[in-house]
Structures are given as C-alpha cells and as structure tokens.
Amino acid sequence: MITTIDPASGKTLATYGAMTPAELEQVVVQAADAAGAWGRVAVSDRLAALTRLAAELRGSKDALAAMMTAEMGKPIGEAEGEVEKSAVTAEYYATNGGAILADEPVTVDGVRAWVSYEPIGLVLAVMPWNFPLWQVMRFAVPTLAAGNGVLLKHSPNVTGSALAIERLFRAAGFPHHLVRTLVVDEPDVPATIEQLIADDRIAAVTLTGSNRAGSAVGAAAGRVSKRSVLELGGSDAFVVLADADVEAAAAAAVRARFTNSGQSCVCAKRFIVEEAIADEFVDRFVQGVKELTVGDPTDRGTAVGPLARDDLRAALQRQVAESVAAGAVLVTGGASIDGPGFFFEPTVLTGTAPGMPAFDEETFGPVAAVAVARDSDHAAELAGATQYGLGLSIWTGDPARGVELARRITSGAAFVNAVVASDPRVPFGGTKRSGYGRELAGHGLREFTNIRTYWVAG
C-alpha cells in the first residue's frame, strides 16, 4: 500500500494499492506490444499527437497543478508553470521533430548511404518527485516522438500525479497502453527495477534521482548491455565576478536558489563571489532572501513552500548544523519552522569552503552556501571543487570573460549572466557524478533511437 502525504499539513492525501507481480507482467506485455506498433506509425502522425498533448496539458492545467502542489508542496504558480513548460516542449517537438529524425544522406562514391534514427522499443523511466510532471515530460515527449513506448516508475509520494500523467496521454489520443505507470511498494522498488532492466522487452532505461539510485540503475543496465541515461545530483556554482552588476546578480541568485523551494538539481547551491564585491553581494542577497514569503503553497503570494518529506528536512538540518560546526556563519534562517507541515527557513551560510557539507554535498532545500574567492582564478578553483557537474552560472560585465572562465569548469551547461534552466531547444544533462546522457533538443530526441547506417550498392 502506498500513502501520499500533504507536506504542507502532514495529513494523508490518498492511498493506492500496489500492483501484484501478475499485474506488473500484464502492463509490460501491453506496453511492449503498444511500443512495437507505435514504432511503425509515421513520424508525422506521432508528431501530430504531440500537438494534441500540448492542448490537453493546457486544458488540464488547473487539475495537474493542484495535484502537484498537494503531493509535494510546490507553490501553485510554479506548478502551473510546470504544466505550461511541458506544453511548450510538446509543441517544440511537434514542430521540429521531423527535421531532427529525418534520414541524413552520406556521400560515398558508388553507393547510396544514409543514417537513420529508428525506434528501439519500450523505455523504462525512473522519475523523482521534485518536478512531478516536467521531469516525466522532458523525457517522455521526445521518446514518444522517436517512436518508443514509456514505462513510468514515478516516486511514491507523487503517485497521484503519476497516474494522472498516464490518463493525460490517453486523453490526448495516444494508444491506450503506450504510456503506463507502475505502482510498486517502496521496499520492492530496487528488485523490481533490476528485473525490468534485465527483461528483454525493455530496450533502455533513464533515471533522474540520487547517486545511489543512479549507480544501481547504471550497473544493472551495464550488466545487460542496455542504454541508460542518468540525471543525478547537482551542486551548481553561481559565480559572481568583481565586474558584475551586483544588484542584478543578487536578485537572480535568490531566484536561482529558492525556486521550487530549493528542491531542484539545477538550483544554484554554491555562491562563489569575488572578494571585492562580496560584502555588497551578501547584503543584497540576504535582504532578498529575508523578503521571501514562506507558507501555504496554494497561496499565490507564497514563494517558498514546504519540503516534500520530513526526512528531507532532517537531512537539510544536519547539513546546516555540521557546516556551522565546521566554521560556516549562519546569516539568516537555519531551522525548521514549528507547526504542521515540513517547512524550513530560507537559509544563507557564509564562510563556506570545501570540507563542509553545505559546500561538498547537494543541499536539496532552501539553503544557500556563500564562499569568497580571492580572484577569478580562485573562483574557478572553488567552482570546480565538487564531485558534481550539472550546471554553472557566471555573472560578469564582460560576457566573453564569462565564457572563457566557464571553459575552465566542468559542467553539462554554462550560463553567463543568466540563471541555469532547462529549455527544449538545448540539451540538458550532467558530467562527473551528475550523470551522463542528454535530454531535450535534438540530442534528447535521438538519445533513445537506433542510429542505423544504410549502405546500398547497385
């Protein structure tokens, strides 16, 4: 039995019966058959279905957003934005998918040769709770456009959202079993996922989640020589150089850290500021953080909602306490908020450095770690002093200088004078312990295809 909890109140939302082994088997049979048939559908027809999906998303916006807010505490305005972003992504692939998937002629004397991007079958997706809709859509939309099927194992605390996603695709006119949600008791998840990856009917697997889960999924896929994409943790650096517009950088820093109540892999987490402007930046940043409204995520005035689970709040509290014990300075926040729900104060730590949990670990909640750099070289050194490599944001009055500095720091994306974000027009993914493979753009559409060579003589 799976129980979902409202993190704003701590009260039970719903309970769901887990699927039996026989029910799971039936779902896999049906989904594999649907994926095989879908792969034979013309690309133009597959892309037309995405246009219907975008309309269905927008028509279901209120219900989808309300479900996400109830299940994981996302502020309602951000939940609505998640629905719209998913719709925009569906439209992007509906418009551009044909060109991305088109055969590519290769010039070879005496023969006709080309490269084709063909479906591979049923793809298993293990998805997290922090973006209940968008995390699924950014994988599922291009995967379906490529002619594959989707088997979704979502996080148990957003089971209602997971089942709503299955219904959404059906309402948009996709084949009945092409997108299926698995409901699995949490203790059974590791073994079930490993068995599914080993199943010949599963062509590939993608996971967004923790490094521990990613290691298990990547290893299981490797044992059976199956493709995998892993989008794991992040501890993104937000670098502010001495020539930056400090006011603009500080305002952007608040958004970069506290969007989704700080529960995002691409939230900026480590703020590395050159010494010459550090005091001004911290003053402006802290003032912006203090102005954030914490509270009921259904209230449109709320900027920061609860953490999704109480154990996540406890982990954040440990990271703050251990960092302060190691020498960090608590400037604002730093504690759980009394009362119902799983709320935590928006927090800023200064004086952080390698060796402190707030700097070394992924802080998945409203906690910002500020470190002061002597100069730009030291800033690059601090930014790169992490096991992660997802995103990077650099703020400077000279964009060319920002790009030059970014080339010295390993990450999957580098944004100059902008907050790191995912966008369907550019690929998304990590390096180092942030994972491998890419979602979105042309790379994401081709990620789960058979890149096939044709060589025709005579």
Q: Would you call 265 a catalytic residue per the annotation?
A: yes
The 3-state DSSP composition of the chain as helix, strand, coil percent (nearest 5) reads 45, 20, 35
Q: Are 380 and 334 in contact (CB under 8 A)?
A: no
Q: Which of 80, 91, 231, 274 is catalytic?
A: 231
Torsion angle, alpha carbons of 153, 142, 388, 432, to 10: 100
Burial 194-205 (b: 16+ CB within 10 A, else e): bebbebebbbbb
| Half-sphere exposure for 50 (CA within 13 Å, toward CB) | 28
Residues 6 or more apart whose Cβ sits within 8 Å of residue 377: none
Q: How far is CA 399 from the centre of its chain?
A: 27
Q: Are 207 and 214 in contact (CB under 8 A)?
A: yes
Measure Cα distances from 334 to 256, 348, 349, 396 in Å. Answer: 19, 8, 8, 30
Q: Enumerate the H helices of 39-158 as residue ranges.
A: 43-59, 61-72, 76-101, 134-145
Residue 44, Cβ density class (10 Å: 0-12 exposed, 13-18 middle, ≥19 buried): exposed
Structure tokens at 142: 């291009």
Place of tokens 């995103």: 391
Structure tokens at 424: 């369907």
Q: Would you call 231 a catalytic residue per the annotation?
A: yes
DSSP bridge pairs for 160: none
Parallel, antiparallel, or unpaired for β 435-436 and 111-119? unpaired
Q: Which of 56, 80, 265, 361 is catalytic?
A: 265
What is the three-class DSSP state of 321?
A: helix
Structure tokens at 12: 């039970």
Q: Please give the Cα distance from 243 to 274 (Å, whole number).
A: 9
Structure tokens at 180: 């299926």
Place of tokens 């670990």: 361
Residue 39 has a CB neighbour count (10 Å cut-off) of 17
Residues 6 or more apart whose Cβ sits within 8 Å of residue 54: 87, 88, 90, 91, 94
- Which positions are annotated as active-site residues? 231, 265
